[in-house]
Structure 1
């Protein structure tokens, strides 16, 4: 007879997400070192970074389709294997292609974790989905904070980037062991008897398609900016990596206190307010200089804090028949969008720098000119990205009015299709 230990399963899920986020935080911190070590330009670094976002949607969508069939436990043991292989390949990387393959493998592991853990959390806490998803997803920014602090500390004491990456093996081994020993429930859709046809019908509903498209923008605003902040702003401030630590620290606190906020406001209102604050923070990051840029990082962190878990929670609560597939399609959409945007912006960054260098006056010091070109290119990339949350403000305003009208016409039921 199965004994479902809800608390232990939730803790193990948080630990697996910690490994996912450590990969983001540590990679963001060592990106510059990898560029120097292997002589990679911003476009190449952008492509390597993007492979993690390619692997993620691939795994999360496939996982969303098969999780009801093979079960969440088998999916998480696969995630453990992919994490183990990806981390070891990164530690022993020798150049562009080995970094490409290892980062792709870690991306597949990360996507597999979310493909299993998001439906696991909603199955364990059917009465409190959005709040528990926020508590679960606080370990994503939490791991980024830990990862960036590890990079900073290890650099101070002279440990190389291979050691920094190798640290991830410890929580990977622990979560793999825990999941191998625990019993799992079936997914919420299977437990409630919703048919596969009903699930596919739900993900083709207009409301789901709208949220799916909006997920492109919320994910780019949150994850692209965080992953690239060290590269984009390192010539603007001496503490660019600390900006990421500060921003993600704010996200941890916000998600930890999601329960009272979600009691005061509906998920769609939280998403709209978040988008407005995120747009303000991104504008400040792209225009300010000096110490006040740390205030910009705090405001930006407050804005993007609720994006990911609240988008997933909204879909799970208002389109419940979409099940694990619905949640995982949302995650896949977000990561795919980030992968495309990262490559585009990497090339955009290189083109800005090249154009600035092409018109140098005679006698200009090339090294100083390159530094100045980079200091202009980074904020320009962020300013260009600002258009995304500005469009989202309009979209989510419409969502708030739509849900308000829906509640008036059908106040006792969720939007079920």
Structure 2
């Protein structure tokens, strides 16, 4: 047998001796005949799936609008590339807060109420974005968008895994085709209207999928019961899968970002800000140890490793998308005379299409093997994009798009198949770690790398201007670098028109080296997934773990 293929499932019976579950069957469930509460109708399944699809597509709309606007925001609000990256990050790291919170709540308050919270948060974020004339208010708009996105993910991932228990990786890939689908839809709207319409008006189009999924979830009456709940696995067991190691990562990253945001907003916590990473690690270690002691478990080692891998994975998928149109704009306009945003739309279209057919590669290889292959494609694509010209750019974008296609949903399928006892907690936390760290690390990291390349180019070409405009001693996770506002340099009256064009071209060329640095991220992933595959091979091959249904728990709930 091919060692990359999934072996027959391992079934865990949890009907006896496991105590109560995190959610007991409701009175409405108990009154239903067993045949009715063990499953949803095909119509119910499809309706819930497509409502979930639209909810994530709405988040894709907001993401691509923010991706298209860094240069406009930089000029309108007079902020640096790293600060623009911080705005994009503010729409991502808060996702972790509501994902983790609602992982604990969704089984109790229900899918429908949870999605109404997402609807309200996303609608408010659109209104604030359109209304703002201040960068601080724009930050809050991005923050609310992140919170709403987190609720969406916290609901739709376990919802999909509960509906399609025998096809988790495949159906999660199809569900997450909605993310690039939203990017394609929103991207086309922006690119076809930006020359004749204000960016604020364009942003209002995000309300279309938001309203659509809000109406669809309002119409839903029956929802599946989570696999963990149906198997009568106690919430304590779910938390033990997460364990002290998972709590260590979550507390570390959350404390770092919240403390950093407080410092940026008010100047408070300056005493610890210089060593914030080390302080966060210490607090995370204490919190993780305390959590592990309470639940009496360190957590699953493989789950901990997958959470760590989400740091480069999220940066390689989301942060590079966030910066790539800015970095590739000059060469695409010069070689093809097209807006660089079409590159993002094209790669998203490839991703969307391939995710609908994720079942094909998953028939021949396991999720970690598919993730390894994807990493290799990403390495090649990003490296080529850093220096490609002419027709080679098309091939590089295709490699880049194929590489990132299966990352996120296949990782979710991997976790869902291996840790069903963890329920919504493990499934959502691994995603939350990626979205949290791409806001903390990914966007600002690539922004800092670009700032540094910009500064070094100006230093080499125009030392006098470098001394006048540089922002010295910037720091990012202990890395010290110089930054510069390239727009201000290029607007300097001492430069002639020819000098401005020459310097602008050299800045654009050097900035593309950022993508070569980004290629290191999928390289680390390829090594990690290769080692994981070797470990599974030593254990007899990859296996899907299923929980055996407890017939006393029911299979569908009324009203969500």
Note the residue ranges of structure 1 that are not aligned, 5 or more in a row.
none
Considering fraction of residues, name the structure with more helix.
Answer: 1
Match of 1:297 among 386, 397, 400: 397
Q: Equivalents in 1 of 2:530, 2:455: separation in Å?
A: 39
Alignment correspondent of 1:53: 92
Alignment correspondent of 2:331: 236
> In the alignment, is the contact (CA less than 8 A) between 1:231 and 1:378 conserved in 2?
no
> In the alignment, is the contact (CA less than 8 A) between 1:280 and 1:299 conserved in 2?
yes
> In the alignment, is the contact (CA less than 8 A) between 1:282 and 1:296 conserved in 2?
yes
Considering fraction of residues, name the structure with more strand.
Answer: 2
Q: Equivalents in 2 of 1:8, 1:99: separation in Å?
A: 34
Q: TM-score, normalised by structure 2?
A: 0.71
Alignment correspondent of 1:358: 459
Instruction: State the 1:298 CA deviation.
Output: 0.8
> In the alignment, is the contact (CA less than 8 A) between 1:120 and 1:187 conserved in 2?
yes
Q: Equivalents in 1 of 2:502, 2:108: separation in Å?
A: 58
> In the alignment, is the contact (CA less than 8 A) between 2:454 and 2:511 conserved in 1?
no
**Larger deviation, residues 170-179 vs 341-350:** 341-350
Give the direction of change, closer, same or farther, for the CA distance of 1:287–1:317 in structure 2 (3 Å limit). same
Note the residue ranges of structure 2 that are not aligned, 5 or more in a row.
1-27, 30-35, 243-298, 334-338, 465-493, 548-560
Q: Equivalents in 2 of 1:228, 1:412: separation in Å?
A: 37
**Larger deviation, residues 54-63 vs 118-127:** 54-63
Equivalence map 1:124-273=2 (5 Å): 124-156=163-195, 158-183=196-221, 184-203=223-242, 204-238=299-333, 239-273=339-373
Give the direction of change, closer, same or farther, for the CA distance of 1:415–1:285 in structure 2 (3 Å limit). farther
Q: Equivalents in 2 of 1:333, 1:18: separation in Å?
A: 21
Q: Equivalents in 1 of 2:166, 2:545: separation in Å?
A: 14
Determine if the alignment matches structure 1 residue 394 to structure 2 residue 527.
yes
Alignment correspondent of 1:39: 78
Instruction: State the 1:372 CA deviation.
Output: 2.6
Alignment correspondent of 2:12: none
> In the alignment, is the contact (CA less than 8 A) between 1:235 and 1:374 conserved in 2?
no
Determine if the alignment matches structure 1 residue 70 to structure 2 residue 109.
yes
Q: TM-score, normalised by structure 1?
A: 0.94
> In the alignment, is the contact (CA less than 8 A) between 2:310 and 2:434 conserved in 1?
yes
Larger radius of gyration: 2
Match of 1:374 among 489, 495, 507: 507
Alignment correspondent of 2:554: none
Instruction: State the 1:91 CA deviation.
Output: 0.8
Could you list the runs of 4 or more consecutive aligned residues of structure 1 that deviate by over 4 angstroms after TM superposition?
1-4, 361-366
